[in-house]
């Protein structure tokens, strides 16, 4: 396979099979629901799913009674999601946008970034994303991020290879995370999918670069954003495992922030 890989995010059907087909999206959506039940002061009616990709959680959120808004910058992902969820009618909407410069006609009750889709290149970039999301939230609304913050004491680098079959289609998937600039904590998350269908073979690849944030740095970023306050974090979607300072974060930590009504004093970033 010598030809250039095809951009994986421009092939949403392959991406969805390779990266989402084995997820328990109902557990993820009900995790969001349980955090809302515990920490939102009103009945949530809408959820904004940022960097939604193929929107694997859209039907689950609509099933729970939310109006779903998915935002992504990739038109291929959005076209796939619109077609996939035609049956949801106006309960699900898909909009093109960049997380750093979001604009919605109406504020939402909950915003999410699921499955690690938080890609700031710097701490300032993380501040810009949080400010942009805060601008879309109703006062009191929650911003819930999953697998976006580095778990302390864990080696962030990883390499995972697996195979999947879908009828005549065979996928070999290699996902890896490696450092590209250690001192700046800049990493690269690469997903390579080799797809074989009959005699046809094709390679797909996505590369997302981002700055790792450990919990302390993330709290420093939150402190920079006047409109958000920290609510709590949990070990995965298990709300019976709040972090009390003794436990370590799991590999897929969940963190919740709340939009506050009144701006407060800005503080300095701890490690600019």
Structure tokens at 3: 């030809």
The binding site for ligand SAM (CB under 6 A) comprises: 9, 20, 51-53, 56, 72-74, 77, 98-100, 114-115, 117, 119
Structure tokens at 154: 């864990």
Compare residues 72 and 235 and give the one whose CB is closer to ligand SAM. Answer: 72
Compare residues 180 and 242 and give the one whose CB is closer to ligand SAM. Answer: 180
The CB-of-163 to ligand SAM minimum distance in angstroms stands at 20
Q: Give the Cα separation of 48 and 129 in Å (integer).
A: 14
Compare residues 20 and 226 and give the one whose CB is closer to ligand SAM. Answer: 20
Compare residues 56 and 141 and give the one whose CB is closer to ligand SAM. Answer: 56
The CB-of-209 to ligand SAM minimum distance in angstroms stands at 10
The CB-of-15 to ligand SAM minimum distance in angstroms stands at 7
Q: Give the Cα separation of 204 and 22 in Å (integer).
A: 19
User: Do 125 and 101 meet the contact criterion of CB atoms below 8 Å apart?
Assistant: no
Q: What is the dihedral of CA 28, 32, 34, 36, to 10 degrees?
A: 180
The CB-of-246 to ligand SAM minimum distance in angstroms stands at 30
Compare residues 37 and 207 and give the one whose CB is closer to ligand SAM. Answer: 207
Q: Give the Cα separation of 126 and 213 in Å (integer).
A: 9
Eight-class DSSP state of 237: T
The CB-of-96 to ligand SAM minimum distance in angstroms stands at 8
The CB-of-56 to ligand SAM minimum distance in angstroms stands at 5
Compare residues 98 and 214 and give the one whose CB is closer to ligand SAM. Answer: 98
The CB-of-45 to ligand SAM minimum distance in angstroms stands at 21
Residue nearest ligand SAM by beta-carbon distance: 53
Q: Give the Cα separation of 134 and 138 in Å (integer).
A: 8
Compare residues 46 and 112 and give the one whose CB is closer to ligand SAM. Answer: 112
Beta carbons within 8 Å of 95's beta carbon, 6+ residues apart: 69, 70, 71, 78, 104
Kindly provide the b/e burial profile for residues 214-229, where b requires at least 16 CB atoms within 10 angstroms of the residue's own CB. bbebbebbbbbbebbe
Q: Give the Cα separation of 263 and 251 in Å (integer).
A: 32
């Amino acid at each position: 396979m010598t030809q250039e890989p095809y951009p994986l995010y421009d092939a949403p059907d392959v991406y969805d099979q390779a990266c989402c087909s084995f997820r328990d999206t109902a557990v993820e959506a009900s995790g969001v629901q349980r955090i809302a039940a515990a920490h939102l002061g009103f009945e949530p009616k809408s959820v904004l799913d940022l960097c939604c990709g193929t929107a694997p959680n859209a039907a689950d959120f609509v099933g729970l009674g939310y109006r779903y808004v998915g935002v992504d910058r990739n038109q291929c992902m959005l076209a796939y999601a619109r077609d996939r969820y035609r049956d949801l009618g106006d309960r699900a909407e898909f909009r093109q946008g960049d997380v750093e410069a979001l604009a919605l006609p109406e504020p939402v009750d909950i915003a999410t970034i699921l499955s690690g889709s938080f890609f700031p290149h710097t701490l300032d970039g993380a501040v810009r994303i949080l400010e942009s999301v805060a601008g879309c939230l109703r006062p009191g609304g929650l911003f819930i991020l999953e697998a976006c913050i580095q778990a302390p004491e864990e080696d962030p680098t990883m390499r995972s290879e697996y195979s999947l079959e879908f009828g005549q289609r065979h996928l070999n998937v290699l996902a890896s995370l490696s450092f590209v600039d250690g001192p700046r904590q800049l990493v690269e998350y690469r997903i390579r999918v080799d797809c074989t269908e009959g005699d046809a073979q094709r390679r797909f690849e996505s590369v997302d670069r981002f700055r790792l944030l450990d919990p302390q740095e993330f709290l420093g970023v939150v402190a920079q954003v006047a409109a958000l306050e920290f609510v709590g974090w949990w070990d995965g979607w298990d709300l019976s495992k709040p972090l009390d300072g003794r436990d370590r974060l799991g590999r897929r930590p969940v963190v919740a922030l709340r939009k506050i009504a009144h701006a407060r004093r800005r503080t300095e970033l701890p490690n600019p």
